[in-house]
A and B are shown apart, each in its own frame.
Chain A
Amino acid sequence: MSRTFLGMPGIPHGTGDLGGEEPFPRSAARHLADHQMRANLAGATGTIRAKRASVVSELPDWEQLRESGRAVKEATMARLDEHLVELERRVTERGGTVHWARDATEANRIVTDLVRATGAEEVVKVKSMATQEIGLNEALEEAGVTAWETDLAELIVQLGDDRPSHILVPAIHRNRAEIRRIFLETMPGVDPGLTDDPRQLAMAARAYLRQRFLRARVAVSGANFAVAETGTLAVVESEGNGRMCLTLPDTLITVMGIEKTVPTWRDLEVFLQTLPRSSTGERMNPYTSTWTGVTPGDGPREFHLVLLDNGRTAALADPTGRQALHCIRCSACLNVCPVYERTGGHAYGSVYPGPIGAVLSPQLTGVAANPSLPYASTLCGACYEVCPVAIDIPSILVELRNQQVESGRKPSAERAAFGAVAQLMSRPRLWRSAQRLTRLGRLLARGRATLPAALPPPLSRWTRTRDLPAPPRETFTERWARERGDRA
């Protein structure tokens, strides 16, 4: 019997900003028409690909680092329960409080209650995929709390009332001229003479956020890593907005997916080498902060760690797909993906776009809620090649497609067609007859080398932009049999 993974009973999937209503092919078609976005993305991903390649080639032991990173993550997942308990113990020992959230709703409630308890009406935020996934800003808004995004790209997205389109650079779909316009239209007190020089734009963000950092009483962050043996959290960033949030407010609330845990301090020596080179193409990002609980006299007096499941344990139960949990959110796979480069991140409908999003989102929500994402790839393998923890994304995509088929949700016509072709392909004599039938296409071609463009679906989806050659007069196996006398 076929052993297909169809979810483990009793482990619920996640909720939140993880999938759109619109199937990928349709939303992709819409975004493909945005030529400005495509030009912006092609420029930006081209820049970052070159930078990444250059700094990765500097390390003679890159492949060894990659293999160690993969193995650390695999080993972590195998005993994730123990590592989480250890992490909780260490954080608590050092004066922090650990909360557990089964899903997005529970995590939002925990954070909202914590903020309310401080009496604060606003929070400053460090860019965090986990809080985007659960829709924390919207939940806080409903509770009357304003969340200020402080990462430059997040700020651009927030001010522009836009959606993030990239894991690392959420405003990658915007160019400098568009960012200038957003700032001029939405940033109170901005210099009307602002140009589109990136340095000037960054300075405008500095001025805008400075007072917010200085008056903030509560900060919300994500985490790149949590070291179980010491209870140490780590945030990797560039601008210093992370340091502001982690250092200045009285209360720090960190929301972290449970898969961000690593067992030992030493494990960071791998990821602190592979993450910056893979993400921004730097030897090291400008700032990495680590902290363990509360340090008297330095930084927040209260620290809360919210450990988030939201479908991660459901993904963990899939023998093939669980490796998607190894992701360290570098976004190298987005930057090299030919599909992402053309459709942009919004087409994926999830806060996790690109190749990793196409495997992670359906696993967090269940494939039924995200049925088109596993097909949003040519399986070209560029993502796997650059992944710093060697996640075999193409194999997971294929596995998820199989789950989608096995779930019985595929159109019956497609299923019947594949079934019939498989029958033919397992009976060589029938297959030869079927091959001969394709020659009927020669009638349509009327002596031309290619078939007419006006063909019925699904062939029309090919011939809309590509010619289809007329089938040859004779297959190879027929000719071989004729000329060489082999039985064919």
Chain B
Amino acid sequence: MTDNTSAGPLTRCWRALWKPGTRYATGTLLIGGFIAGIIFWGGFNTAMEMTNKEKFCIGCHEMRDFVYKEYQDSVHYNNRTGVRATCPDCHVPKAWIHKVVRKIQASNEVLHKVLGSIATEEKFEAKRLELAKNVWRTMKETNSRECRNCHDYQSMDYMEQATRSSRSHQSGFDQGLTCIDCHKGIAHSLPKGFEDGKL
């Protein structure tokens, strides 16, 4: 056996972790661990939910002054039935594992917030196409998963849709298209040159 007294405090803690407990009862450790687990897990999810609110998103002027303003003109903000889709409804996956992956990717956004990459309207407009393409690509890869959290094409009643929508939806789904293939720029302004069909 190694001599504990000659080892450093960290080494001693590490070794104690892997020996059977002698000071505390197993029950204390179990119940204590259970409660600590609830607090840790609950805290983790609460913190994650906090970053999943519109108020958090528009806490930065980049979001509040540019994209949020455009979104306020859209049907997802203001509509007949009063059902709203806020930022995270479209931009953060609902499923836990995808959500955590997205949250980790968001560290890149924190970096660019610090760098001020889109801090002014000019800088943002210069990057709009690139940023839009990122979202379009992701949506395409996930078969518009975030759209389909609410819009399920199997539940669509084509008889109730306008002529134009009904026709386009049916032919679109027949071709295997996904929501974002047609519905670009529904919540935010389109990048310059989009209507020329070159993007």
Do A and B assemble together?
no
